[in-house]
Amino acid sequence: MSVISSLTDYIKNGKKREEVPHGLCPNCWGRLEYGGEFYKAVQKENLDLNNLEKHKGWIQALATKYAYGLELKKKGAEWECELCNTKYENE
Ligand SMILES: [Zn+2]
C-alpha cells in the first residue's frame, strides 16, 4: 500500500489521532507527534469522503511533510523503518 493510499484510508475511515496510518512506523509516527499534527490538518481542511478527490494535491503535500520518511520497507520476512531501525513482524 502506498503512503498516499494509506493516508487516504486514514481519512476515509475517520481514524482517531492515536491511530497510525497503515504501513508507517508507529514508533516514529508517535515520537514525532505526527498523529496530532496530521489529525489537526485533516480537521482544519474538513477532509472527508466527499471532498477527498479535490484535495489530492493537498494530501500529497501532507504525505511529503509527514509520512514518506516513516514508510516501512520490506526486509525479508520483516518490515523495517529506516529512520529508527525498528523491525516489525510481517502482517
Ligand atoms: Zn521508525
User: For cell 481542511, what's the residue?
Assistant: 45
Burial 23-53, CB ≥16 within 10 A → b, else e = bbbbbbbeeeebbeebbebbeeeebeeeeee
* pLDDT for the residue numbered 22: 92
pLDDT digits (tens, 9 = 90+) for 17-43: 889 999 999 999 999 999 899 989 998
Q: Which residue ranges make up each domain of the chain?
A: 3-89
The DSSP symbol for 2 reads -
Three-state DSSP class for residue 77:
coil
The Å distance, Cα 51 to ligand 1 centre, comes to: 31
* pLDDT for the residue numbered 1: 65
Query: Average pLDDT in the 52-59 region?
Result: 91
48 falls in which pLDDT band (50, 70, 90)?
confident
Question: CB within 5 A of ion ligand 1: which residues?
Answer: 25, 27-28, 81, 83-84
The Å distance, Cα 30 to ligand 1 centre, comes to: 9
pLDDT at 72 over 80: yes
Q: Return the percentage of the chain with pLDDT > 70, whole number.
A: 98
The Å distance, Cα 70 to ligand 1 centre, comes to: 6
pTM: 0.85
For CA atoms 64, 37, 46, 72, give the dihedral sign: positive
